[in-house]
Amino acid sequence: MKILVPVKVVASLDEDFALADDGTVPPEDLDWQLNEWDSFSLEAALQCNEGEDGEIVAVTVGDEQAHQGLLSCLAKGADRAIRIWDEALAGADALAIASVLAAVVREEQPQLILCGVQSSDAVESATGVALAGLCELAHVAVVTAIEREENELTVQRELEGGTVELMRVSLPCLLTVQTGINEPRYASLRAIKQAGAKPMRIAGLGELGLDRAAVSAHAGSRTLRLKEPAKGVGAALIDGGPPEIAARIAEIVKAAMNA
């Protein structure tokens, strides 16, 4: 079957980042990597299609920083990739991104969409289910097991406290996939070399029948500024090398256990 795997290349902060005066992070203080959750959703797609004809399409909304992430999806086994970008999408929120992905879903008409539960940077867990809402697709969030029988999926939804719900959902549908559902594969060196030869479409908003105003109307929020968490709350730092640290920890543990 055709499976669409929306992925995100996420930015993490360097250890010595500095916030600019306008409440943004300077680009040179960011590291870019494929979102951890998305390696599990891609692997789930690869396993769903194992032993049958099908197609896996990886898609992302992102600038050139995202290129490498899509290549790694191709190297692991995605058949083709789509990258959509427009400068107006910088800093777009989950709902705006979902509206762009919805245009891809309308074109591609996949039977299954597998997203990661969340991205490691924003931790909002919204894009996948928002996409399902826009496409009016049945959806299950936070899935830790998938079994397929023809057009029926039996999935396991992870609840709080380790409890799970077993449920059934029919294709077409969208699932958001939790870490630990599988063991994401590594790409072989040969596959990495060959990934560049697989089809990669790079498109702007216009090619998807979208424009900036339509995307921005979908945005759920606007980021006013970034700020550092309040100082003065948090840990008292233990100084010194490992011996001093261990000695102090031993003192704290003994005092707390005897309190």
Minimum CB separation of residue 30 from other proteins in Å reads 8
Question: DSSP characters for 48-77?
Answer: HTTTS--EEEEEEE--GGGHHHHHHHHHHT
Say if residues 17 and 150 touch (Cβ distance below 8 Å). no
CA 191 vs CA 34, 52, 76, 78, 198: distances in Å: 17, 20, 7, 11, 10
- Whichever of 10 and 195 has its CB closer to other proteins, that residue is 10
Phi (first) and psi of residue 166, to 5 degrees: -90, 135
Question: What is the rounded distance in angstroms from the CA atom of residue 177 to the CA atom of residue 6?
Answer: 11
Question: What is the rounded distance in angstroms from the CA atom of residue 145 to the CA atom of residue 44?
Answer: 9
Question: DSSP characters for 100-128?
Answer: HHHHHHHHH--SEEEEES--TTT----HH
Determine how β-strand 152-158 pairs with β-strand 138-149: antiparallel
- Whichever of 168 and 193 has its CB closer to other proteins, that residue is 168
Minimum CB separation of residue 4 from other proteins in Å reads 17
Minimum CB separation of residue 54 from other proteins in Å reads 23
- Whichever of 81 and 141 has its CB closer to other proteins, that residue is 141
- Whichever of 90 and 163 has its CB closer to other proteins, that residue is 163
Determine how β-strand 30-34 pairs with β-strand 9-13: antiparallel
- Whichever of 36 and 79 has its CB closer to other proteins, that residue is 36
- Whichever of 79 and 216 has its CB closer to other proteins, that residue is 216
- Whichever of 72 and 176 has its CB closer to other proteins, that residue is 176
Minimum CB separation of residue 57 from other proteins in Å reads 21
| Length of the chain measured in residues | 259
Minimum CB separation of residue 238 from other proteins in Å reads 4
Residue 81's Cα: distance from chain center in Å?
A: 15
Minimum CB separation of residue 243 from other proteins in Å reads 5
Minimum CB separation of residue 26 from other proteins in Å reads 13
